[in-house]
Structure 1
Amino acid sequence: MSESCSKWIHANEPMPDDLSFYLVGWATTLLIAIGKSAFGGGLAILGIPLLATVTTPQNGAIMVALLVSLMDLMALQRFGRESWSKPDLTWILPGLVAGIGVGYLVFVRIDPRLVTLIIGVVTLLFTAHWFLRGRLAPPGTRPVSPGLALAAGAASGFTTFVAHAGGPPVAMYLLARGLPKTMLVGTTIAIFTLGNWLKLPPYIALGLQHREALWGALVLAPAVPLGIWLGRIVHDRLDQKTLFFWCYVLLALAAAKLTIDAGLSLLS
């Protein structure tokens, strides 16, 4: 974190005056928004580590939560109800809410590092199987599995609350379904709009205690619509096979980061 940005934080000034904050912050916000609109997500996991280079990790987490919630609303304008897989949402969303509730109830009893490690390892195995064998299989859409959808939603809700790692469980289920590319992204956005907005009140409360994070999110917010617009262009230009490939790449990278971070933390 730069010296001038540190002074801004400790002085509790209303607006950041460090150029590096704007450069890194805007680039990070654009990257996450493009990933949201092009692939349904996958890049938000990079937000806190990148922003932590120009602010505190806590402020970075607050900013990412606020910015991603704004991205969800804007992405929904470009991926409306016609792009949602409603049979999947019927089972995933109740599971998501239940998982968040369970995560809230057992949060103090669960080591989030262990949860993150398990999710990371399982996701790596899933993506490795696809790269080795799955992508060679003929294309096709698997039928809706209520049990798996409910389990994916519950696992996502639980892990997003206790470890901020809710993406992989739902991504594994939806990618295995083989949905058309726009339906895959639209359904993913619909799911995480609900999940992110359910988590928003605690982050707003934190933001009221850390006003510099609220100001930081405000000055980065103009990058959101630009990123959502660029992401939709990327989405429309990629064919189904290429988009799925990059979805799996992003999922594998996120899983690798989760596994490494959790493993190192447990060993320390």
Structure 2
Amino acid sequence: MSVDPVFLAVGWLTTMLMAVGKGAFGGGLAILSVPMLSLVMDPVDAAITTAPLVSLMDLFALGAFGRSGWAKADLTWLIPGLVAGIAAGAAVFVLVDARIVTLIIALVTVAFTAHWFLRVRLAPPAPIGLSAPLALVAGAATGFSTFVAHAGGPPLAMYLLRRGLDKTRYAGTTVAVFTLGNLIKLVPYLALAASKPQALWAAFSFAPAAPLGVWLGKRLHDRLPQGMLFFWCYVLLGAAALKLLADAVKGLVAP
């Protein structure tokens, strides 16, 4: 493991940003992890390093929000959909072009976010009620896309943001869904880590930033007015969509 101060600084900053996003919004900044860590380490090592860090953050975020922060009725349908989506992604992983999946998710999310900023923000519609079919579809899309293309955040956010939940139930429910999803994904990443122990050492060295970042993020969550917090949720969602779009286009046009 490198002891280069630049390596440690980038790793701690990346971990802190991910953890603050987890504590404030339930997630949203993990998409920055691999690009930022790839500045100081191999991209595959960066992906392996991120997996245990995100699961560690989930555990602290679960404690920060507690069960009272869960929209339990939604989770009743989101979780089965998530598990089914992950299973489907694993079953067809070698048959699906992750670039196409990423492109579709990015285009839908860009359209959804643009619609909110241009129309819905100015004249908000009534929140949608609990819909078992929509929750199942959102869960399945989240599970499938997170396994195939590491892009599970947008499908879940698009469903939960339209539900009209208060800010804490939105973030707490997001944390609950991804705690399970990230734990499932952790298994294959740990198998990969058997041949890349340097990635696990890196995760160990960055780990102390995780609880600190979640704590700071939760304090931010508690202080931000609900309208402002959701505004930044849409900003993060749009930024994630543009990042996914750029990655998909780059992958498709690359020789």
User: Match for residue 178 of structure 1?
Assistant: 164
Describe how 1:162-241 pairs up with structure 2 within 5 A.
Answer: 162-241=148-227
User: Match for residue 107 of structure 1?
Assistant: 93
Aligned residue for 2:155, secondary structure, equals helix
Q: In the aligned structure 2, how far is the partner of 1:65 from the partner of 1:173?
A: 24
User: Match for residue 123 of structure 2?
Assistant: 137
Please list every run of at least 4 consecutive aligned residues from structure 1 whose deviation after the TM superposition is greater than 3 angstroms: 138-141
1:89 counterpart letter in structure 2: L
- In the TM superposition, what is the alpha-carbon distance from 1:261 to its structure 2 partner? 0.9
Deviations 1:122-160 (A, max 9, x none): 000000000011112347543101111100000010000
Task: Structure 2 unaligned segments of length 5 or more: list them.
Answer: none
Deviations 1:93-148 (A, max 9, x none): 00000000000111111000000000000000000000011112347543101111
Q: In the aligned structure 1, how far is the partner of 2:249 from the partner of 2:127?
A: 35
**1:25 lines up with 2:17 in the alignment:** no
2:228 counterpart letter in structure 1: T
Describe how 1:48-67 pairs up with structure 2 within 5 A.
Answer: 48-67=34-53
* TM-score, normalised relative to structure 2: 0.98
Distance 1:139 1:114, change over 3 A: closer
**1:267 lines up with 2:253 in the alignment:** yes
Q: In the aligned structure 2, how far is the partner of 1:26 from the partner of 1:195?
A: 24
Task: Structure 1 unaligned segments of length 5 or more: list them.
Answer: 1-14
- In the TM superposition, what is the alpha-carbon distance from 1:209 to its structure 2 partner? 1.1
The structure 1 residue matched to 2:143, chosen from 154, 157, 161, is 157
Aligned residue for 1:41, secondary structure, equals coil
Q: In the aligned structure 1, how far is the partner of 2:67 from the partner of 2:177?
A: 12
Report how many residues are paired: 254
Q: In the aligned structure 2, how far is the partner of 1:130 from the partner of 1:20?
A: 39
The structure 2 residue matched to 1:47, chosen from 27, 33, 41, is 33
Preserved contact between residue 63 and residue 214 of structure 1 (Cα < 8 Å): yes
Aligned residue for 2:232, secondary structure, equals helix
User: Match for residue 104 of structure 2?
Assistant: 118
User: Match for residue 114 of structure 2?
Assistant: 128
Larger Rg: 1
* TM-score, normalised relative to structure 1: 0.93
Q: In the aligned structure 1, how far is the partner of 2:148 from the partner of 2:125?
A: 35
Preserved contact between residue 75 and residue 189 of structure 1 (Cα < 8 Å): yes
Identity across aligned pairs (percent)? 62
Preserved contact between residue 139 and residue 178 of structure 1 (Cα < 8 Å): no
Deviations 1:160-194 (A, max 9, x none): 01100011000000001121000000000000000
Aligned residue for 1:107, secondary structure, equals coil
**1:82 lines up with 2:68 in the alignment:** yes
The structure 2 residue matched to 1:245, chosen from 227, 231, 235, is 231
Cα RMSD for the two superposed structures:
0.9
Deviations 1:51-96 (A, max 9, x none): 0000000110011111000000010001111110011001110000
Distance 1:182 1:139, change over 3 A: farther
Q: In the aligned structure 1, how far is the partner of 2:228 from the partner of 2:142?
A: 25
